[in-house]
Amino acid sequence: MKKIICCMFAVILMVALSTGYSHETARHSKVIEGFSYPESIVIDYMSGFVFVSNLGEKLEPSAKDKDGFISRLSADGDISEKKYLPKKGVLNSPKGMAISVSTLFVADVDRVVGFDISTGRQNFELDFSKEKTMYLNDIAVIDNNTLFVSATDIGKIFKIYIDPKPRYEFVIDLIGANGLYFDKKAQKLYAVSFGGQNAKGGLGVISFENNKPKYEKLTEGTGLLDGVWLLEGDKILFSDWVAFDKPGRLVVYDPKTKNETNLKLPEDVHGPADFFYDEQHNRLWLPRMQEGKVLVTGIDW
């Protein structure tokens, strides 16, 4: 009997992982399973779809292994197509994503690739290999023609020009540059760092007076920071892995008081990566990268 029960459990687990099984963890919370090291999430409000980037079969964010993909979910978190992109060609280890007009841009090792959201057709590619980076990480939209992208391994942030000819230029050095969020109103770029050389990462903001980037450190020695989001009232939400063998955390930083408050989550999260905060519905979409899951939860601020 014990053997039969174990076999049944194994079958149920395999089905759950292959079909994107989800379960409720608390009121207004859901855990979606079946991903392959999910790293970034973005919502397209025009179509109502949610996109999740997956590194692939192994937790190797710099590998050119051709097994990365992007999943497409409904607004309720149901996986409509686990491997939605790419339709043709390959993705290696896709990470940060952003939507500009009708194109989904994704950072993939040493290039930035764009896909038409309605057709899935690739319509953009920009090669960064001459920068000797293997870890392009997050993307932030400046306007319809320009983006920011971080390169974690070489500690740099670049600006991308989409039209008429795709090109990029160096913006600023930032050790372990990771998550980005551009405040269009204030024309400031918030950036978090994963750290490096045994130093913990921190949160900072980049201003562009007279078109000259200037970095201001807001926190330091904070942790292994990944995603970042600007909230109402100029408070900043960021994710922190803490350690690879410990649960991570989400932190709200108040620049006025310089206080940090840990956000209460319905359960422990390992590898909280590049999250998306759906302000319209007050829902946090959080990749649990090391667990192959995504947590969707309402927030009590």
| Domains assigned to the chain | 39-276 (2.120.10.30)
pLDDT in tens, 149-178: 999 999 999 999 999 999 999 999 999 999
Closest to 222 in 3D by CA, of 241, 205, 208: 241
- Longest alpha-carbon distance in the chain: 74
Alpha-carbon distances of 41 from 4, 61, 128, 147, 288, rounded to whole Å = 38, 16, 23, 17, 11
Burial label, 77 (beta-carbon count in 10 A; 0-12, 13-18, 19+) = middle
Per the CB < 8 A criterion, the answer to whether 177 and 136 are in contact is: no
- Phi then psi dihedrals of residue 277, to 5 deg: -100, 115
Q: Which pLDDT score is estimated for 134?
A: 98
pLDDT in tens, 77-93: 999 999 999 999 999 99
Per the CB < 8 A criterion, the answer to whether 155 and 137 are in contact is: no
Element (H, E) at 9: helix 2-19
What predicted TM-score, i.e. pTM, was given to this entire model? 0.90
Rounded CA separation 64/243 (Å): 25
pLDDT in tens, 46-88: 999 999 999 999 999 999 999 999 999 999 999 999 999 999 9
Q: Which pLDDT score is estimated for 1?
A: 42
Per the CB < 8 A criterion, the answer to whether 218 and 204 are in contact is: yes
